[in-house]
């Protein structure tokens, strides 16, 4: 059927089927929702995968370090003590006493004596029983240092030699007073181990090769330099057992220690033979490729070699000055006893304990220190029978610091520094003594009932003061006694006592 109206021909629309989707119809929303869900789920995955395509993130910039960790733009001026001026004011004795008296108190039993002097003039600034003889403990090593430096000289060295033995095939290790020998190679920059047995053995093998020597070698040892008892009867058996001291010989490794790093506990009972046995082992190793063998065991040379055999090799110790410094810094008893005996030999006395004590007393007088009331039964200070006054110690420190004998200046570096070195390294750390840290330089002394401190300090006005404080009859282990000594020395360091 057609409709002619409007000049256009129209076609009838077919009927719509049920369920069919037509564009723009409301039935298309489930597909859109599904697409939205897939998109939401894909975003986190894309974020996880994306770094793999674009590489790692750039590292965060490092934070700027604080100013105290940054390199300085300029170097600060060195901080050193000002040059001593003789014109610096001398402290007033009454003011010094007012500073020292309240702090120099015993913790429990016992008493302290003390003396303070002006180093340049000798004027006494403090005196509490300064003329009273006291057990000085290791402060006695100051007297031994003076004796060694005066008789031997700061630059003297001890020589350990190897010589031809009295019979064919024998070599003799001859002691020369060096008890700081090392087992290995010589270490020229060190005091302990300056001369090494491995080096000495290598030189010996070279000499034997040059002489055409082959076959078996027997090692002997000559330690006849020292005489008299090797173990002082004035030493307590407990101190020997604890390793404070050992029988004294003129030849030893590590100051008669098995290990230089272990300074407590047992020591070799015969340090000379122990050193000779070590030398024999080093000689055996050095001679293995040179047609030389070394017999087992070491014997003493009958009657001493007396240096009559041809010298095959020699090694020199550190200087006396260097050894004195070590002795004072660590308070080495064995080294002190050796130094005393070597000083005795240098003055024509026997190398014995009696010779050592006589030499120390004589050199005290020669250095201008009155030896009245001095009683010495050893030269390391381990014995309780020694007697020295605080006045004599201040006179000794004056002789070292400002006296006429310039050789004694070599001992200055040996004084431990409060809070920094040697036997004072762990002291001067609390609020009452920290003012003396780095300023107080003093030799310590410690026995069960004895504490001592003798040394020097520059006061707040630039005046050099010398002091000695000695406690006897003290309560063993009482913590306040060392603090009392340190407080007294600290008071001097901060003293503008006018």
- Distance from C-alpha of 117 to C-alpha of 127, rounded to nearest angstrom: 9
- 3-state DSSP assignment of residue 64: coil
In the chain, % helix, strand, coil (3-state, to 5) comes to 35, 15, 50
- Distance from C-alpha of 46 to C-alpha of 63, rounded to nearest angstrom: 32
Longest dimension (CA), the chain: 161
Pairing mode of beta strands 464-472, 450-458: antiparallel
Q: Collect all residues with Cβ–Cβ distance below 8 Å to 263 and sequence separation of at least 6.
A: 243, 257, 330
Q: Which residues are 316's β-sheet partners?
A: 159
Q: Which residues are 466's β-sheet partners?
A: 117, 456
- Distance from C-alpha of 246 to C-alpha of 126, rounded to nearest angstrom: 38
Q: Collect all residues with Cβ–Cβ distance below 8 Å to 82 and sequence separation of at least 6.
A: 462
Q: Where are the beta strands (DSSP E) in 159-248?
A: 159-164, 170-174, 215-222
- Distance from C-alpha of 288 to C-alpha of 284, rounded to nearest angstrom: 6
- 3-state DSSP assignment of residue 458: strand
**H/E run at residue 450:** strand 450-458
The residue with tokens 């047609």 is: 291
- Distance from C-alpha of 469 to C-alpha of 450, rounded to nearest angstrom: 11
DSSP string of 452-478, one letter each residue = EEEEEEE-TTS-EEEEEEEEESPPTT-
* Burial class of residue 295, CB neighbours in 10 A (0-12, 13-18, 19+): middle
Q: Quick one: how many helices (H) and strands (E) in the chain? A: 11, 11
Which residues are marked as active site? 138, 141, 331
Q: Collect all residues with Cβ–Cβ distance below 8 Å to 247 and sequence separation of at least 6.
A: 230, 231, 269, 270, 271
User: Can you read off the two tokens belonging to residue 117?
Assistant: 């002097």
DSSP string of 338-357, one letter each residue = HHHHHHHHHTT--SSHHHHH
Q: Residue 457 half-sphere exposure, CB side, CA atoms within 13 Å?
A: 31
């Amino acid at each position: 059927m057609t409709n002619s109206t409007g000049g256009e021909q129209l076609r009838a629309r077919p009927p719509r089927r049920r369920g069919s989707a037509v564009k723009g119809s409301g039935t298309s929303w489930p597909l859109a929702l599904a697409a939205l869900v897939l998109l939401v789920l894909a975003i986190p995955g894309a974020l996880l995968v994306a770094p793999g395509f674009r590489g790692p993130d750039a590292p965060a910039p490092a934070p700027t370090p604080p100013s105290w960790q940054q390199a300085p733009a300029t170097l600060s001026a060195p901080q050193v003590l000002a040059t001593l001026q003789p014109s610096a004011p001398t402290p007033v004795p009454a003011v010094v006493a007012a500073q020292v008296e309240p702090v120099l108190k015993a913790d429990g039993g016992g008493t302290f004596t003390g003396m303070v002097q002006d180093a340049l003039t000798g004027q006494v600034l403090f005196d509490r029983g300064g003329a009273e003889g006291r057990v000085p403990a290791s402060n006695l090593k100051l007297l031994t240092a003076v004796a060694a430096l005066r008789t031997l000289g700061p630059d003297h060295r001890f020589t350990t030699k190897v010589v031809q033995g009295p019979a064919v095939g024998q070599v003799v290790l001859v002691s020369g007073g060096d008890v700081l020998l090392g087992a290995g190679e010589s270490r020229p920059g060190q005091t302990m181990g300056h001369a090494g047995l491995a080096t000495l053995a290598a030189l010996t093998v070279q000499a034997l090769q040059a002489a055409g020597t082959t076959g078996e070698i027997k090692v002997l040892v000559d330690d006849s330099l020292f005489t008299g008892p090797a173990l002082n009867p004035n030493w307590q058996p407990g101190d020997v057992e604890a390793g404070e001291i050992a029988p004294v010989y003129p030849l030893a490794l590590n100051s008669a220690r098995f290990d230089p790093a272990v300074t407590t506990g047992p020591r070799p009972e015969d340090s000379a033979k122990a050193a000779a046995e070590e030398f024999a082992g080093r000689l055996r190793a050095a001679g293995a490729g040179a047609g030389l063998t070394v017999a087992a065991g070491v014997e003493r040379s009958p009657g001493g070699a007396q240096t009559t055999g041809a010298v095959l090799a020699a090694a020199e110790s550190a200087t006396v000055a260097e050894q004195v410094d070590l002795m004072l810094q660590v308070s080495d008893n064995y080294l002190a006893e050796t130094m005393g005996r070597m000083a005795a030999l240098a003055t024509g006395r026997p190398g014995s304990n009696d010779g050592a004590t006589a030499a120390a007393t004589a050199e005290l007088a020669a250095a201008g220190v009155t030896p009245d009331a001095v009683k010495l039964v050893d030269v390391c200070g381990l014995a309780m029978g020694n007697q020295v006054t605080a006045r004599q110690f201040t006179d000794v420190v004056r002789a070292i610091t400002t006296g006429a004998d310039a050789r004694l200046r070599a001992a200055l570096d040996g004084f431990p520094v409060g809070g920094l070195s040697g036997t004072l390294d762990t002291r001067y750390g609390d609020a009452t003594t920290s003012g003396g840290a780095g300023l107080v330089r003093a030799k310590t002394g410690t026995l069960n009932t004895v504490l001592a401190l003798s040394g020097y300090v520059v006061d707040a006005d630039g005046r050099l003061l010398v002091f000695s404080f000695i406690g006897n009859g003290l309560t063993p282990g009482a913590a306040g006694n060392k603090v009392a000594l340190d407080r007294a020395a600290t008071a001097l360091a901060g003293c503008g006592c006018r």
